Amino acid sequence: MIRERLHCELLLAMVMAMAMAMVEKTSSSLLLLLLFDLFLSICLFAKLDASVDADNAAVERFRSYLVIPSVHPNPNYAPAVEFLLSQAQDIGLDAQTFEFAENKPVLVLTWKGKNPLLPSVLLNSHMDVVPAEKEKWKHDPFAAVLDEKGDIYARGSQDMKCVGMQYLEAVRRLKAKGFKPLRTLHISFVPEEEVGGVNGAEKFVPSEEFKALNVAVVLDEGLASPNETYRVFNGERSPWWLVIRATGAPGHGSKLYDNSALENLIKSLDLISSYRASQFDLIKEGLAAEGEVVSVNPVFLKAGTPTPTGFVMNVQPSEAEAGFDIRLPPLADPVAFDKLIAEEWAPASRNLSFTFKQKVTVRNKKGLPCLTATDSSNPWWLLLKDSITKAGGSIGQPEIFLAATDARFVRDEGIPAFGFSPMANTPILLHDHNEFLNVREYLKGIDVYCEIIETFSSYGGPDDQSKTSSHTEL
Ligand SMILES: CSCC[C@H](NC(C)=O)C(=O)O
Ligand SMILES: [Zn+2]
Ligand SMILES: [Zn+2]
């Protein structure tokens, strides 16, 4: 469409030049001037035409990645890796594939810097996506439909195949313009982030293979922003997935007696509910940001004596269970929280027991909370802010990510890491139905990464200190 408009404008310019020359009986020098002007316009339009072609090609490559169904519960990573390897070959990047668990490949692409001894820059993304309920979507979640508004609908369009491809497109563009990095740049594509990274980043980051990359700073996923300002994250909350189990004597449905399994579990639900409200109030009253409070949400309830058509209505069950997704901010005290669970939410004195399906505590080796510094002590933060601004973007105050990302494993190792996905003017639709990203935002994000990569990989600063001084230990 842009190309057609350009052609119309070009035609119009030619007609106007000829008409002016004829009507005003222009002298030959003026006519020459007009012809020169016309020549310049043609050059400009040809250049614009070429950039429109390049943008279209970039969008098509993004869509090709999106249609690869690397989806849980059993993602097949081979087609995604094959596609990314073909991209690497096309761009001219070195590639290594590691397997820390069977059929869970980690792909690392490398653009060697002029000084490979300097610690490197690592851009990470995960290849896996969460499942999608196809029938509840406007378009097939694995067809990457591009609609008339320029929105691309696909699972992974925001989370986070966009980012992985934007890294590659930015490198493609920088290589084409002859840029040569000073520091080495690595781009990793990891599996299994959506299920906790146990067979992905959790094994990769502490490995010898990772150490050999000599990483100074990492970029990983962030979130879309519904307004003009990009969001950036320098820490994240720790997921604790708690299951409380209640037992008690069964009894007739008509009888009032103490300590039934459900009565005890409901008491816990009441306490947890009040705690939840107190945390939510802090957000509602503007006293804390979402990432700074403890969130606790019930995610399942299991009780009752089943029948083929429902539940027995006159038996009080002898067991019941409830599951909670709890997220602890970096400054919360995990020991105090353990105590709260053991003594108030699930005490043995009320015939309750508890287990964790997931219990991550984002702490460094000294047991202190990990936050990547966002002040002048961290050159990478300053460089990130500057390059986003230089690319014409605006960036908000650093935030704590509500959920968990692979960046936690990196921060754990004392390496600064930022969560950043350049998607402004975009509703947050990760894990939602009808996840989409507009082509304009996708392309703008490539411009942003061009600046970031150019700036980060040109930085020759005090590398020996970058790993320690830029990491806050509170
Ligand atoms: C705890 S492992 C699961 C990881 C997932 N991450 C995101 C970004 O949704 C989550 O926080 O639930
Ligand atoms: Zn993600
Ligand atoms: Zn996700």
Q: Which residues surround ligand 2, an ion (CB under 5 A)?
A: 159-160, 221
Judged by DSSP in three states, 192 sits in: coil
Ligand 1 atom, smallest distance to 196 CA: 2
Mutate to test the pocket of ligand 1, among 128, 155, 194 (most ligand atoms within 8 A of CB): 194
Q: In terms of DSSP H, where are the helices of 71-188? A: 78-91, 161-176
Please indicate whether residue 403, judged by its CB atom, sits closer than 6 Å to ligand 1.
yes
C-alpha 420 to ligand 2 mean position (Å)? 11
Q: In whole angstroms, give the CA distance from residue 246 to residue 243.
A: 10
Residue 212, judged by CB atoms within 10 A of its CB (0-12, 13-18, 19+), counts as exposed
C-alpha 403 to ligand 1 mean position (Å)? 5
Q: In whole angstroms, give the CA distance from residue 246 to residue 265.
A: 6
* Residue 147 is a catalytic residue: no
Q: In whole angstroms, give the CA distance from residue 55 to residue 426.
A: 20
User: Residue 207: what pLDDT?
Assistant: 98
Question: Which among 346, 431, 434 is positioned nearest to 152, based on CA atoms?
Answer: 434
Mutate to test the pocket of ligand 1, among 405, 406, 431 (most ligand atoms within 8 A of CB): 405
What is the rounded radius of gyration, in angstroms, for the C-alpha atoms of the chain? 28
Q: Whose CA is nearest to atom 9 of ligand 1?
A: 403
User: Residue 360: what pLDDT?
Assistant: 85
* Residue 258 is a catalytic residue: no
User: Residue 462: what pLDDT?
Assistant: 72
CB 372 within 8 A of CB 418: yes
Please indicate whether residue 402, judged by its CB atom, sits closer than 6 Å to ligand 1.
no
Q: Whose CA is nearest to atom 5 of ligand 1?
A: 404
Instruction: Read off the pLDDT of residues 307-327 as tens digits, 9 standing for 90 and up.
Output: 999 999 999 999 999 999 999
Active-site position among 151, 192, 193, 441: 193
Question: Which among 363, 321, 355, 322 is positioned nearest to 338, based on CA atoms?
Answer: 355
Q: In whole angstroms, give the CA distance from residue 418 to residue 123.
A: 10
Whether the predicted model's global pTM rises above the 0.95 cut:
no
Q: Which residues of the chain have pLDDT under 70?
A: 1-48, 463-474
Task: Give me the interface pTM, i.e. the ipTM.
Answer: 0.97
Each as own residue / partner, the long-range contacts of residues 364-370 (CB below 8 Å, 24 or more positions apart, any chain) are 364/411, 364/412, 364/414, 364/471, 364/473, 365/412, 365/414, 366/473, 368/473, 368/474, 369/235, 369/330, 369/331, 369/473, 369/474, 370/235, 370/330, 370/408, 370/411, 370/412, 370/471, 370/473
Instruction: Read off the pLDDT of residues 8-35 as tens digits, 9 standing for 90 and up.
Output: 455 555 555 556 555 555 556 656 655 6
Please indicate whether residue 325, judged by its CB atom, sits closer than 6 Å to ligand 1.
no
Please indicate whether residue 351, judged by its CB atom, sits closer than 6 Å to ligand 1.
no
Residue 232, judged by CB atoms within 10 A of its CB (0-12, 13-18, 19+), counts as buried
Q: In whole angstroms, give the CA distance from residue 219 to residue 190.
A: 13
Please indicate whether residue 398, judged by its CB atom, sits closer than 6 Å to ligand 1.
no
Q: In whole angstroms, give the CA distance from residue 73 to residue 253.
A: 40
Please report, for residues 122, 163, 211, 407, the alpha-carbon distance to residue 173 in angstroms, rounded to integers and kept in the order given: 18, 15, 28, 26
